[in-house]
């Protein structure tokens, strides 16, 4: 079981070919490969699924979070018949599984992802965000990494990620710290270029303030 891109670890992206090799090894040794795309799936990385970057198909796929567009709690698991039909009647159940309202909301959210081309927008806006972040002083931002609109920056040791995020909040931008020196930036898939540039202005302003303290 693995994330195609590690999310909570700070947006750690494997080398290209890693997912393909994982698929090959699991097939060779008859091991089920479960891909956790709760954070990376549904256009977040610029494709419908992060696994699509290497055109590989896991045996089991897990989705959640964005599946309803933030409107209603829902998650799901997808697998082929060989996997799913190994569960016999009475062996598994879920009190709220198949909630009709949640399923309808999820269907509508998936339709929006497709009709509004949000994977393409995630790619364009993510490229812009990372390009501008890499232009910040290297004594502040040590590393920028990400795909689509799933991104993170590694800050210099003298800048605690939690303190930076609190200052960002004061200046009008929400971000999430992780592991002390990493800040995750995952804006909405509908974000525009002007909003990206506005966010970058806040980030630059914040680091200038912290540097001058």
Residue whose token pair is 């909040």: 169
Q: What is the structure's pLDDT at 58?
A: 98
Q: Is residue 2 part of a domain?
A: no
Q: What is the structure's pLDDT at 38?
A: 98
Give me the number of domains the chain comprises.
Answer: 2
pLDDT in tens, 133-184: 999 999 999 999 999 999 999 999 999 999 999 999 999 999 999 999 999 9
Q: What is the pTM of this model?
A: 0.94
Name the percent of the chain lying above pLDDT 90. Answer: 95
Could you tell me the residue range of the domain that residue 188 belongs to? 118-211
Q: Is residue 1 part of a domain?
A: no
Mean pLDDT, rounded, of the chain: 97
**Which strands sit side by side in the sheet containing 182-185, from one edge to the other?**
141-147, 150-155, 182-185, 176-178
Asked if residue 213 has pLDDT above 90, the reply is no
**Do both 91 and 150 map to the same domain?**
no
Take residue 14 and report the two structure tokens written for it: 């494997």
Q: What is the structure's pLDDT at 93?
A: 85
CATH classification of the domain holding 64: 3.40.640.10
Last residue of a domain, one of 115, 139, 171: 115
Q: Is residue 127 part of a domain?
A: yes
- Give the number of other Cβ atoms within 10 Å of residue 19's Cβ: 23
Sign of CA dihedral 179, 125, 102, 77: negative
The secondary structure of residue 89, as a DSSP letter, is T
């Amino acid at each position: 079981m693995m994330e195609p891109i590690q999310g909570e670890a700070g947006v750690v992206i494997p080398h290209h070919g890693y997912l393909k090799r994982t698929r090959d090894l699991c097939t060779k040794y008859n091991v089920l490969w479960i891909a956790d795309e709760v954070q990376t799936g549904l256009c977040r990385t610029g494709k419908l699924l992060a696994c699509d970057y290497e055109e590989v198909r896991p045996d089991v796929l897990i989705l959640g979070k964005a599946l309803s567009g933030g409107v209603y709690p829902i998650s799901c698991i997808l697998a082929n018949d060989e996997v799913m039909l190994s569960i016999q009647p009475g062996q598994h159940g879920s009190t709220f599984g198949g909630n009709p309202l949640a399923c309808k909301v999820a269907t509508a959210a998936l339709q929006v992802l497709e009709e509004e081309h949000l994977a393409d927008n995630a790619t364009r806006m993510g490229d812009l965000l990372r390009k501008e972040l890499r232009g910040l002083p290297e004594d502040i931002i040590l590393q920028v990494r990400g795909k689509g609109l799933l991104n993170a920056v590694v800050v210099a040791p003298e800048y605690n990620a939690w303190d930076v995020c609190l200052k960002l909040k004061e200046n009008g931008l929400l971000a999430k710290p992780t592991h002390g020196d990493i800040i995750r930036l995952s804006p909405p898939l509908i974000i525009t270029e002007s909003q990206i540039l506005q966010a970058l202005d806040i980030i630059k302003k914040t680091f200038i303030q912290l540097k001058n303290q």
